[in-house]
Amino acid sequence: MDLKEKLVTSFLALENRVNVDSPIHDIRSEAMKVFENLGFPSKKDEAWKYTALNTILKHDYSVFPKQENAIEYKNVKKYFIHDIDTYNIVFIDGKYSSHLSQTTHDGIDVCLMSAALNKPKYRLVIENYFNKVASKESITSLNTAFAQEGAYIHIPKNKVVEKPIQVLYFSTGSEEALIHQPRSLVVVDENSHVQIIERHQSLTDNPVLTNSVTEIFANKRAIVDYYKVQNDNQNASLIDNTFINQKRESHVSVHTFSFGGKLIRNNLNFYQNGERIDSTLKGITIIGEKQHVDHNTLVHHIEPNCESHQDYKGIFGDRSTGVFNGKVLVNKEAQKTNAFQANNNILLDDKASINTKPQLEIFADDVKCSHGCTIGQLDESAMFYLKSRGIPQKEAKALLMYAFANNVLESVKIPEMKQRINKIIAHKLGVNIGFDL
Amino acid sequence: MLKINDLRASVEDKGILKGINLEVKAGEVHAIMGPNGSGKSTLAAVVAGKEEYEVTGGNILLEGQDIEELAPEERAHKGVFLSFQYPVEIPGVSVTNFMKTAINESRKAKGLNDMPANEMLKLIREKAELLEIDRKFLSRSLNQGFSGGEKKRNEIFQMAMLEPKLAILDETDSGLDIDALRIVANGVNKLKSNDNAVIVITHYQRLLDYIVPDFVHVLYDGKIVKSGGKELAHELEEKGYDWIKEEVNA
């Protein structure tokens, strides 16, 4: 049975377990029809031209894990930003882990999607926001069909949430292969501010496929800073779908740090529904071996006087492959738009490759839009400079790569987060150079 | 200290150094002058080990050891320092962290442990003072947004930190105003001792008023065509290089 058939059958099993007589289930059934109809995307689809899913779809994934698994905090502590106080929403093999989590209902809701989907007190928020910005294409629809669990974060107006919120998904490897479909909703009301860190982490080498969907609503003057840490094991793959709806004067930034995993596809979509909105999309990708990372971004400028800033840096070694496909769409009404996009890449080996494609569709006539992509090697004269100071090849290379990616880190607002990313980079580059990168 | 015998080097099959002979003893200052394109910067880069140049003949002995097979970092560990004409910008790495890395890598190569943090700080402070460098400057990203003068001063600061046996200053005077020139020259003079040597590469005699050479060499078309004392620099300043070209071509 191929994965699609298996998912169709699993959906029938799901229908035996959940309340099918609910508006949520109507949305699920509708989404399942879309997926049944379209199936998984293939290289024939323009948006998937450089990312082939067939190698990761061939495993016999379990859709619902057979048992609940527990893990001890000390064994996974290193995956948390643990040197500061945070809220934590933690899942183990898709199931909520209360003993690793720290949720709250004190003035804000930092809790579970399963609760929000089922309890009457969340009904209004779910009605207003759930599945309202997520796309209706096949892979997102597949997630919608199985939407049950994930993070639910609702910040009412005028709240500055002091502690960052960490959302962590662990896979224990108790199943030979496992497909996860977490579904999260973040609603940030007027004048509120929240910082969120998301990470998917597999604890063994058993294959894992995560198809994650997160919807984020930033209402008037809200500020949302979202960090995605992608440093998973070599058999873990991730299709990460994020949809962001911004209202006027809101600021949303998403930083994506892609250092590990077998295949990563980031679908990151911003919709600017209001004036004077600011959207920031930044990423650092450092991969090697036969890893693959694909950043597929969309910024839709719908109204006037808004800005978007995209800055993605990629370093590709061995036979790794990268894709950057950045689409900026400026509506006719969206005058005075400032949209910037940069994608800079370094190829360390002859067999590494990157496909980069800026895609600008501009229908307004008074806008500032720029894009630039570069593909290069490490600068030989810079290498010579460092080596002439006594710094060996490997360390010199690491310093230059770090310098290359550095400006993406400048906008990271949580110092401990920045430190953590620096450490992962140093580890990734295999260096210990006398100071923390 | 340094002995260069009939050194020939080329880049992409184009001969640039065509038989250089030069001996620099400990305690000496040598100036190398010459018109543009004569091979001055190439000579500096070849001694420091830049890989894109191919040495096609002759040898370079540092304290009697042939260094041709050594990588640039290994030459640095043996005490060779090159002050760059165009220092490279390294965003996100502060001057202090860069120096820590450079010093500790050199120590590692010599089988020593990292320099203790307080000792490092003391050394940095002492050498920064020597070059009249502000403490704030040390936490800035290496060379990023530095003025021409700041870059050169920072090069000499690195030299002060690394205490090389042989320092080659490649057009350290270009882009410097008179005050910066004085500070840089003063730094070099204070670092000079009977145990180290300096090669100053310059177009102009101006720097040599401050760093007084024991010998002046004129490099032209890949060869040293004339050597003399410091008065040769004055003669060149006055008469230019044409008379030397004529002599050579005659």
Considering only CB atoms, which chain A residues are within 8 Å of B117? none
- Is the minimum CB–CB distance between A393 and chain B shorter than 8 Å? yes
Least confident of A99-108, A205-214, A403-412, B161-170: A403-412
Q: Which domain holds residue B96?
A: 2-249
Q: How far apart are CA A81 and CA A58, in angstroms?
A: 34
The two structure tokens encoding residue B77: 């560990």
Helices (H) and strands (E) counted in chain B, each on its own, are 9, 12
Give which of A378, A389, A409, A425 to mutate to test B binding, by max B Cβ within 10 Å: A389
Phi, psi of B30 (to 5 degrees): -115, 140
Q: How far apart are CA B90 and CA A399, in angstroms?
A: 8
Q: Do A393 and B49 touch (CB under 8 A)?
A: no
**In the prediction, which pLDDT does A105 show?**
96
Q: Residue range A182-199: average pLDDT?
A: 98
Specify whether the backbone of B170 is left (phi greater than 0), alpha (psi in -120 to 50) or beta: beta
User: Could you tell me the sign of the dihedral formed by the alpha carbons of B57, B58, B60, B63, in that order?
Assistant: positive
Confidence class for position A192, pLDDT limits 50, 70, 90: very high
**pLDDT per residue over A230-267, tens digit each?**
999 999 999 999 999 999 999 999 999 999 999 999 99
The two structure tokens encoding residue A66: 């057979």
Runs of H (alpha helix) within A192-350: none
Percentage of the residues of chain A whose pLDDT score is greater than 90: 89
pLDDT at residue A187 greater than cutoff 80: yes
Residue pair B99/B124 in contact by the 8 Å Cβ criterion: yes
Q: Residue range A153-177: average pLDDT?
A: 96
Mean per-residue pLDDT over chain A, rounded: 95
Q: How far apart are CA A268 and CA A298, in angstroms?
A: 6
Q: How far apart are CA A407 and CA B216, in angstroms?
A: 45
Q: Residue range B136-149: average pLDDT?
A: 92
pLDDT at residue B197 greater than cutoff 90: yes
What is the count of structural domains for chain B?
1
The C-alpha torsion from B179 through B180 and B183 to B185, rounded to 10°, is -110
**In the prediction, which pLDDT does A437 show?**
56
pLDDT at residue B14 greater than cutoff 60: yes
**In the prediction, which pLDDT does A357 show?**
94
A221 vs A394, higher pLDDT? A221
pLDDT at residue B194 greater than cutoff 90: yes
- Is the minimum CB–CB distance between B81 and chain A shorter than 8 Å? yes
Q: Which residues contact A26 (CB under 8 A, 6 or more apart)?
A: none
* Residues forming a β-bridge with A347: A316
Q: Residue range A190-200: average pLDDT?
A: 98
What's the gap in Å between the CA of B88 and the closest CA on chain A? 6
By Cβ distance, the residue of A381, A382, A390 closest to B105 is: A390
For the beta carbon of residue A46, count every other beta carbon within 10 angstroms.
8
By Cβ distance, the residue of B76, B87, B97 closest to A390 is: B76
Pairing of strands B29-33, A353-362: unpaired
* Residues forming a β-bridge with B218: B33, B226
The answer to the question of residue A96 being in a domain is: yes
Q: Is A235 helix (H, G, I), strand (E, B) or coil?
A: coil
pLDDT at residue B141 greater than cutoff 90: yes
Global pTM value: 0.89
**In the prediction, which pLDDT does B62 show?**
96
Q: Residue range B184-201: average pLDDT?
A: 94
- Is the minimum CB–CB distance between B49 and chain A shorter than 8 Å? yes
Radius of gyration, CA atoms only, chain B:
18
The answer to the question of residue A265 being in a domain is: no
**pLDDT per residue over B59-69, tens digit each?**
999 999 999 99
Mean per-residue pLDDT over chain B, rounded: 93
Sheet holding B54-62, edge to edge: B14-24, B2-11, B54-62, B65-66
Q: Do A435 and B101 touch (CB under 8 A)?
A: yes
**In the prediction, which pLDDT does A431 show?**
80
What's the gap in Å between the CA of B49 and the closest CA on chain A? 8
**In the prediction, which pLDDT does A435 show?**
61
Q: Which domain holds residue A173?
A: 1-226
* Residues forming a β-bridge with A160: A193
For the beta carbon of residue A123, count every other beta carbon within 10 angstroms.
14
Confidence class for position A433, pLDDT limits 50, 70, 90: low
- DSSP-derived letter for residue A367 is -
By Cβ distance, the residue of B50, B71, B102 closest to A389 is: B102
Q: How far apart are CA B104 and CA B45, in angstroms?
A: 23
Q: Do B90 and A403 touch (CB under 8 A)?
A: yes
Angle between helix B40-48 and helix A380-388 axes, rounded to 10 deg: 60
pLDDT at residue A289 greater than cutoff 80: yes
Which of A174, A170, A244 minimizes the C-alpha distance to A210? A170
pLDDT at residue A67 greater than cutoff 90: no
Confidence class for position A436, pLDDT limits 50, 70, 90: low
Q: How many residues does chain A have?
A: 437
Considering only CB atoms, which chain B residues are within 8 Å of A379? 88
Residue pair A219/A249 in contact by the 8 Å Cβ criterion: no
Q: Which residues contact B21 (CB under 8 A, 6 or more apart)?
A: B4, B5, B6, B7, B224
The two structure tokens encoding residue B46: 């070849």
Least confident of A250-254, A266-270, B11-15: B11-15
Q: How far apart are CA B232 and CA B33, in angstroms?
A: 10
Pairing of strands A87-92, A95-96: antiparallel
CATH of the domain at B91: 3.40.50.300
The answer to the question of residue A351 being in a domain is: no
The answer to the question of residue A307 being in a domain is: no
B161 vs B36, higher pLDDT? B161
Q: Please give the sequence-ordered ranges of beta strands (E in DSSP) within A108-164, or none if there are none.
A: 109-112, 151-155
- Is the minimum CB–CB distance between B162 and chain A shorter than 8 Å? yes
Q: How far apart are CA A163 and CA A160, in angstroms?
A: 9
- The ipTM of this complex is 0.95
**In the prediction, which pLDDT does B24 show?**
97
Confidence class for position A172, pLDDT limits 50, 70, 90: very high
Q: Tell me how many degrees the CA angle B90-A405-B160 measures, rounded to the nearest 5.
A: 20
User: Could you tell me the sign of the dihedral formed by the alpha carbons of A46, A51, A54, A58, in that order?
Assistant: negative
**In the prediction, which pLDDT does B89 show?**
92
Q: What is B135-164 written as a DSSP string? A: HHHHTSEETTT--HHHHHHHHHHHHHHH--
Residue pair B5/B42 in contact by the 8 Å Cβ criterion: no
